[in-house]
A = this chain, B = another copy of it.
Amino acid sequence: MSPKTQKKTKKQIIQEAAVRLFRDKGYSATSMRDLADAVNLKASSLYNHISSKEEILKDICFENAHRFLDGMKEVESLPGTPAEKVEALLRLHIRAATGDAASVMAFNDEWRHLAEPLLSEFMALRRDYERRFMAILKSGMQSGQIQDMEPVVALHTLFSSMRWLYDWFQPGKKLSSEKVEEDMVRMVMKGLVK
């Protein structure tokens, strides 16, 4: 182990290359040969580090699911109005999308390629997260702080609104992630028109 930086395992290197390929070409269109080329191995050698193509996708999907669920737990335990909680979660989503774009994109767009029983397990985590997010929205509507509308419409519109970040945003290039975060939070919370 290097004193300065944690040494990456070959498995981590493979996962990071996979995540980039999944973003660029999609999970199905990425072959194990593509992945092997990206890490200078032969396809068969990948299997010394990972057990299958699906395992890589599974790891991406579940790591991100737990990242968001951990964030939710923290927000729930904090004091604050529903609108403040929604803003905190919004910032969590934005930071994940700008800071770890490829991974969050694979998590968002490629989970449907999971096979059972992983697919059901993943969808259960997702539903749990959505249910808890919606509970916050509903309580904000009841207290009159959040606009009265279909909670499910608010939830999905909010989630969706960040989905351009990971196939567009290039950190440090022209726009800072701080400026993007501030503009997006303002637009989602206060709207496009004055």
**CB neighbours of A145 from chain B (8 A):** 193-194
- How many residues of chain A are within 8 Å of chain B by beta carbon? 44
Since A153-B180, A190-B190 are in contact, a sample of 11 more A-B pairs with Cβ atoms closer than 8 Å, ordered by chain A residue number, is: A26-B113, A28-B29, A83-B193, A109-B109, A144-B194, A145-B194, A149-B183, A150-B180, A153-B175, A153-B184, A158-B192
In the bound complex, what is the Cα–Cα distance between A147 and B183 (angstroms)?
Answer: 9
Q: Which residues of B contact A150 (CB under 8 A)?
A: 175, 179-180, 183
Q: B113 touching A194 by the CB < 8 A rule?
A: no
Chain A binding site: helix, strand, loop or mixed by DSSP? helix
Whether a CB of chain B sits under 8 angstroms from the CB of A118 is no
- Chain A, 30-59, CB within 8 A of any chain B CB: none
State A119–B144 Cα separation when bound (angstroms).
48
A144 to B150, CA, bound (A): 30
CB within 8 Å for A186 and B147 given contacts A160-B162, A164-B160, A192-B158: yes
Inter-chain CA distance A175–B179, complex, in Å, is 35
> Chain A 146-189, CB within 8 Å of chain B: the 1/0 string?
11011011101111111111001000000100011001101111
A191 located at the interface, meaning its Cβ lies under 8 Å from any Cβ of chain B in the complex: yes
Partner of A157, one of B29, B187, B194: B187
* Set B144, B164, B192: member contacting A147, Cβ < 8 A: B192
Most buried by B among A146, A159, A191: A191
Minimum Cβ distance to chain B for residue A110 (Å): 9
